[in-house]
């Protein structure tokens, strides 16, 4: 079947198209060039006056894995506020802060998103993460495997294993967990918490291993680069949420020595200690460092006001923050000599000085970082806010009047502590398309996604232009996934199953001998039972794997 999308105004930064009226042809799920000669269009969509972008990609969203399911189980009262009934097309479930898997897929699609990436795939919990993502309809998905607090890596560092050995272990773990990237969370800190350390600065040693976060970051960033993974090491830095952590963040940027590095939810890592409340914005300096260091990419982790739940691998910092739990219940777990997690419900309040300033700090970050190809739109779902708040966030970025109206309602002392009111920048549609589409696909290393030129999969979102950008982005006219219409007028009309994006870096098979010995001696599972096989994702007939190329390594 040949489909033509006719006359839409196309924003496709991947091929440099910025608001140009052009037709798009779709065949067999993919975008093709206009056929030559005579041809028959089987289905035509008249998109004159509409805005056309590729499907949006959330490059950091907690949609699969144990901590998210703990968050769900923890909060029945939140689900009860947002029950979702089944209909002819959709399964039932629940929404709000940590939606059920099916509702996650529907609501992302209903906002024009066609892919989401789980940033914290614990090696030992990868199965669960993939099984949960396997129950998310419509979206493509993938994950970044978490390393850096696992005892195996820390033992390697203590034993002064060379970089090649570490590269092999990282590649082995990526294959084992079916990942497309590598993440580190509070490098070594989750492990240190198990030894009763309560904080771990960049140059502070793990009390058992003598290893510092700085060393962990360097070997992992190097490994990711050397094995040719497109997505740079995905870093949730030290000292999340601690006033003054901007210095740690600046030091982390400097310390990586030019290696590619992605700093995630940087809003939570951009705090100074100035002012009466000893809490201030560090964005001016952080943004300056990002603008200057082209090896750095970031996503923001914007907070938005209201109830949510924070679910993080950072058991050390989550434990430290448990006293802010609202409602007052929280969970931490130490996990399998591999990682940890902490789940703390949060209610961000605009009349709370700290929360109000966190809100402003996130927005300052968006507006002061120059290059939209190196910054990504996230709320660190659900930690800063549920992903369903993205249209509101886009309006804050694109509409200065609206932004300043909201600013004037937050805690007055926070208003005094932010430069937000003086920032004139308004994001353009093209910049939004870069952050949420082309840039995200490029950052993750997705081939044939995130663009609208021939050869791309036909993941396409069509909006009605509206100066109220929130309204525009929360209700697309059409969403196509792999060429099939899945959403009309902001409602799911058809569902299908997306693919799972992975990479398969090679490793020296001889490392499996030592891994087997380690698993046999210390862990509670045989190494061959630990590794996920491809058929675990594909055997139910719904899932599929898409293996992406690695970068050529010099």
Tokens describing residue 462: 């069509």
Q: Which of 140, 151, 431, 482 binds other proteins (CB under 8 A)?
A: 151
Contacts of residue 63, defined as CB under 8 A and 6 or more positions apart, other chains included, come to 101, 104, 116, 118, 132, 133, 136, 141, 381
- Cβ at position 539, least distance to other proteins in Å: 7
Residue ranges in 28-67 that form contacts with other proteins under rule CB under 8 A: 66
Q: Does 101 bind other proteins (CB under 8 A)?
A: yes
Residue ranges in 170-229 that form contacts with other proteins under rule CB under 8 A: 193-196, 208
- Cβ at position 210, least distance to other proteins in Å: 14
Helix H or strand E encompassing 194? helix 189-194
Q: Does 294 bind other proteins (CB under 8 A)?
A: no
Q: Does 83 bind other proteins (CB under 8 A)?
A: yes
Q: Which stretch binds other proteins (CB under 8 A): 36-44, 121-129, 241-249, 413-421?
A: 121-129
Q: Does 102 bind other proteins (CB under 8 A)?
A: yes
Q: Does 434 bind other proteins (CB under 8 A)?
A: no
Q: Does 159 bind other proteins (CB under 8 A)?
A: no
Q: Give the residue from 437, 473, 478, 452 showing the smallest Cα distance to 43.
A: 478
C-beta of 126 vs 443, nearer to other proteins: 126
CA distance 412 to 275: 13
CA distances from 225 to 172, 228, 258 (A): 15, 5, 11
C-beta of 18 vs 204, nearer to other proteins: 204
CA 198 to chain centre: 26
Q: Does 330 bind other proteins (CB under 8 A)?
A: yes
* Paired strand residues for 353: none
Q: Which stretch binds other proteins (CB under 8 A): 30-38, 228-236, 448-456, 535-543?
A: 535-543
Q: Give the residue from 160, 183, 174 showing the smallest Cα distance to 236.
A: 183
CA distance 274 to 29: 54
- Cβ at position 408, least distance to other proteins in Å: 36
Q: Does 496 bind other proteins (CB under 8 A)?
A: no
| Residue 303: other Cβ atoms inside 10 A | 27
Q: Give the residue from 301, 250, 348 showing the smallest Cα distance to 59.
A: 301
- Cβ at position 334, least distance to other proteins in Å: 5
Evaluated on CA atoms 209, 529, 219, 65, the torsion sign reads negative
- Cβ at position 549, least distance to other proteins in Å: 28
CA 219 to chain centre: 22
C-beta of 157 vs 233, nearer to other proteins: 157
Residue ranges in 344-383 that form contacts with other proteins under rule CB under 8 A: none
- The residue written with tokens 């190329």 in the block is 549
| Residue 50: other Cβ atoms inside 10 A | 20
Three-state DSSP string of 404-417: HHHHCCCCHHHHHC
Q: Does 524 bind other proteins (CB under 8 A)?
A: yes
CA distances from 298 to 136, 377, 381, 533 (A): 26, 9, 15, 32
The answer to whether 180 touches 548, Cβ cutoff 8 Å, is: yes
Q: Which stretch binds other proteins (CB under 8 A): 125-133, 163-171, 455-463, 544-552?
A: 125-133
- Cβ at position 125, least distance to other proteins in Å: 5
| Residue 428: other Cβ atoms inside 10 A | 15
Q: Which stretch binds other proteins (CB under 8 A): 92-100, 249-257, 487-495, 497-505?
A: 92-100
Using left for φ > 0, alpha for ψ between -120 and 50, and beta otherwise, residue 455 falls in left
- Cβ at position 137, least distance to other proteins in Å: 12
Q: Which of 61, 125, 176, 212 binds other proteins (CB under 8 A)?
A: 125
- Cβ at position 545, least distance to other proteins in Å: 16
Residue ranges in 308-327 that form contacts with other proteins under rule CB under 8 A: 319, 325
Q: Which of 409, 419, 533, 544 binds other proteins (CB under 8 A)?
A: 533
Report the interface residues with other proteins, using CB under 8 A.
66, 68-70, 72-76, 79-80, 83-86, 91-94, 98-102, 122, 124-125, 127-128, 131-132, 135, 151, 193-196, 208, 319, 325, 328-338, 343, 521-526, 528-529, 532-533, 536, 539-540
């Amino acid at each position: 079947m040949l489909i033509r999308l006719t006359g839409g105004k196309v924003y496709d930064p991947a091929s440099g198209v910025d608001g140009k009226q052009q037709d798009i042809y779709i065949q067999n799920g993919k975008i093709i060039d206009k056929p030559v000669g005579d041809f028959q269009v089987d289905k035509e969509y008249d998109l004159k006056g509409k805005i056309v972008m590729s499907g949006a990609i959330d490059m950091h969203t907690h949609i699969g894995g144990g901590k998210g399911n703990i968050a769900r189980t923890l909060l029945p009262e939140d689900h009860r506020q947002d029950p979702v009934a089944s209909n002819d097309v959709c399964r039932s479930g629940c929404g709000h802060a940590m939606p059920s898997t099916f509702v996650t897929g529907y609501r992302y699609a209903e906002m024009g998103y066609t892919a989401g990436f789980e940033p914290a795939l614990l090696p030992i919990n990868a199965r669960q993460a993939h099984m949960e993502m396997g129950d998310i309809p419509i979206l493509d998905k993938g994950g970044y495997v978490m390393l850096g607090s696992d005892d195996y890596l820390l033992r390697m560092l203590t034993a002064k294993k060379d970089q090649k050995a570490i590269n092999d272990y990282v590649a082995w773990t990526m294959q084992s967990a079916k990942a497309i990237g590598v993440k580190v969370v509070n490098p070594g800190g989750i492990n240190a918490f198990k030894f009763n350390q309560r904080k771990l600065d960049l140059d502070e040693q793990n009390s058992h291993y003598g290893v510092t976060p700085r060393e962990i970051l360097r070997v992992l960033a190097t490994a990711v680069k050397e094995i040719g993974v497109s997505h740079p090491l995905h870093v949730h830095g030290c000292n999340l949420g601690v006033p003054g952590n901007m210095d740690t963040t600046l030091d982390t940027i400097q310390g990586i020595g030019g290696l590619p590095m992605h700093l995630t939810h940087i809003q939570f890592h951009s705090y100074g200690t100035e002012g009466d409340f000893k809490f201030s914005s560090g964005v001016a300096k952080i943004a300056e460092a990002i603008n200057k260091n082209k090896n750095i990419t970031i996503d923001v982790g914007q907070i938005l006001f209201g109830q949510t739940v924070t679910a993080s691998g950072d058991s050390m910092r989550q434990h430290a923050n448990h006293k802010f739990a609202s409602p007052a219940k929280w969970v931490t777990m130490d996990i399998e000599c591999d990682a940890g997690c902490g789940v703390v419900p949060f209610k961000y309040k605009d009349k709370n000085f700290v929360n109000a300033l966190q809100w402003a700090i996130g927005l300052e970050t968006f507006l002061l970082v120059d290059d939209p190809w190196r910054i990504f739109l996230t709320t660190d779902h659900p930690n800063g806010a549920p992903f369903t708040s993205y249209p509101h966030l886009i309006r804050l970025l694109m509409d200065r009047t609206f932004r300043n109206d909201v600013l004037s309602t937050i805690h007055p002392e926070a208003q005094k502590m932010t430069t937000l009111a003086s920032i004139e920048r308004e994001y353009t549609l093209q910049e939004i398309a870069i952050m949420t589409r082309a840039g995200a696909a490029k950052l993750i290393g997705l081939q044939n996604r995130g663009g609208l030129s021939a050869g791309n999969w036909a993941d396409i979102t069509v909006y009605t232009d509206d100066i109220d950008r929130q309204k525009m982005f929360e209700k697309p006219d059409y969403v196509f996934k792999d060429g099939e219409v899945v959403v009309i007028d902001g409602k799911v009309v058809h569902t299908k199953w997306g693919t799972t994006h992975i990479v398969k870096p090679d490793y020296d098979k001889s490392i499996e001998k030592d891994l087997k010995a380690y698993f046999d001696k210390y862990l509670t599972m045989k190494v061959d039972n630990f590794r996920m096989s491809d058929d675990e994702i594909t055997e139910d007939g719904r899932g599929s794997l898409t293996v992406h190329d690695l970068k050529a390594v010099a």
